[in-house]
Amino acid sequence: MPTKLAPNHPLRPCHVLIAGGGIAGLTLALVLETHGIPYTLLEAYPEIIPKTGAGICLLPNGLRILDQVGCYDDLRSRVGEDNLMENVYLRDEDGKALHYSDGWTERMVERWGYAGLWCDRSMLLQTLYDHIVDKSRLLTSKRVTNTRHLEDSIEVTTTDGSIYTGDILVGTDGTHSRVREEMVRYANELGIGDDYTDSDEVSATYACLFGLSTPSRAMPRGLLSWNLGHGYAYAIGTGPENRTYWLLAKHMGTTYQGSEIPRLTDEDRERIVREHWDNPITEEVRMKDLYESRLDLVMTPLREIVYKRWDCGRMVVLGDAGHKMLPIIAQGGNQAIETVAAFTNGLVSALSAQPSSTTPLSQEEITAVLRTFQASRIERVSKIVEIGQQRQKMDTLSSPEMEELMLKKFPALLPGVLVSRWDQSFPKAVSLGGLERPFRKKEVPFEDEKLEEEM
């Protein structure tokens, strides 16, 4: 089990309701259990670990937190040493390699302490699930229908009529968050709805195909590849069991806002597939090879937003329910894990602030915790959203200037420019303050590690 650093005294009582059992939800469940904070997780679907779903790319900032709760070595073992991120490519529209570099497994471990990796989303969920001891707290087929604030708690009703009561409700229920909808409704009841009107500010410029495939032609192991195109771009990785994880982001011709964001149909998917049927992925593999060997395929508009408010009353949203970013820089899942850590840090600090108290947190104390937590995250996630937007414009060759940069100048800057970008983004990551950080020797320490060394 991970080692707790503090507190040695009992925490004040707090029962957390978690709506959503995805990456953020299961990470939060495991973190709360490790701290000894009781919770109940309400998953809308019949299974905690879905049999479908594409892949995820995990990087040092997310892996460090998973390491703190005992999951990193297990996950790395499941992926396999030969499948850790090793080979980086940048390719043009014809599939020509504009840049290739290897040795990234060793480089990442030496520089940031962790090797990047790709895996099935279900593999990460299974790893988190396996490390949760009390699985009786994980309830399925419990979709939230409505909420009610009581004098000193929050009540949640699910579709089967069940009622659950807790001190805080955490929505880790994704882009179309039911908890966020309840937050907006409650804010309107309180007369503060103007603070929650930014749903119309959600934008979508790109449609995206997320695929999981096993092409018969060989793909490089431990791959991270960006393939450039005019108005479209790919990000591609490989992982265990000859899996290829890929996304095709295609400009929709305009930027849609809020309710104008279209619902994409099977016909839209087939049209885009046929338009890109012969796109080279490598020298030997084309898009049609990925499509014909697909194990799973999802198409969705790529929504972008950092909501102004993540909380209302005793409710708060984490992960995609609070901040949604483009997947091109592989930070969506990693930032969700970071946000879970930041929320937990704030909650544990509040619960341990008065060691002699046996009373639950008041509404005022909860509001202070949630506002402070969001304030600690908003600048970082907003910056990462901007970086993703800029990188997507670069990879889709969105202007003559971008085309000149990406086809002629950018390749010569690799791999140094990628190392530099990660040097800027990884060290600012949050970790779990109340759990020991396993020692991983690294050239570029995280900022919270440096701060502890200085104290």
Confidence at residue 3, expressed as pLDDT on a 0 to 100 scale: 59
Given a cut of 60, is residue 443 above it in pLDDT?
Answer: yes
Confidence at residue 6, expressed as pLDDT on a 0 to 100 scale: 47
Structure confidence at residue 452 as a pLDDT band (50, 70, 90): confident
Rounded to an integer, the average pLDDT of 314-319 is 98
337 three-class SS: helix
Query: Mean pLDDT in the chain?
Result: 96
Cα separation, 123 vs 195, in Å, equals 38
The two structure tokens encoding residue 435: 């759990």
Confidence at residue 357, expressed as pLDDT on a 0 to 100 scale: 81
Strands (E), 259-384: 294-306, 311-312, 315-317, 323-324
Cα separation, 225 vs 287, in Å, equals 14
Confidence at residue 455, expressed as pLDDT on a 0 to 100 scale: 60
> Rounded to the nearest 10 degrees, what angle do helices 23-35 and 332-352 cross at?
30
For residue 32, give the amino acid letter.
Answer: L
Cα separation, 380 vs 364, in Å, equals 26
The two structure tokens encoding residue 422: 């990660």
Minimum mean pLDDT range among 233-237, 354-358, 407-411: 354-358
15 three-class SS: coil
Rounded to an integer, the average pLDDT of 61-73 is 98
Cα separation, 72 vs 63, in Å, equals 6
13-22, pLDDT tens digit by residue?
Answer: 999 999 999 9
Closest CA to 325 of 306, 339, 304, 300: 304
Rounded to an integer, the average pLDDT of 315-328 is 97
pLDDT more than 90, % of the chain? 93
Name the pTM for this structure. 0.96
Rounded to an integer, the average pLDDT of 264-270 is 96
For residue 159, give the amino acid letter.
Answer: T
Given a cut of 70, is residue 1 above it in pLDDT?
Answer: no
195-237, pLDDT tens digit by residue?
Answer: 999 989 999 999 999 999 999 988 999 999 999 999 999 999 9
Minimum mean pLDDT range among 4-8, 41-45, 132-136, 165-169: 4-8
Confidence at residue 184, expressed as pLDDT on a 0 to 100 scale: 97
Cα separation, 125 vs 47, in Å, equals 11
89-107, pLDDT tens digit by residue?
Answer: 999 999 999 999 999 999 9
Given a cut of 70, is residue 4 above it in pLDDT?
Answer: no
Confidence at residue 55, expressed as pLDDT on a 0 to 100 scale: 95
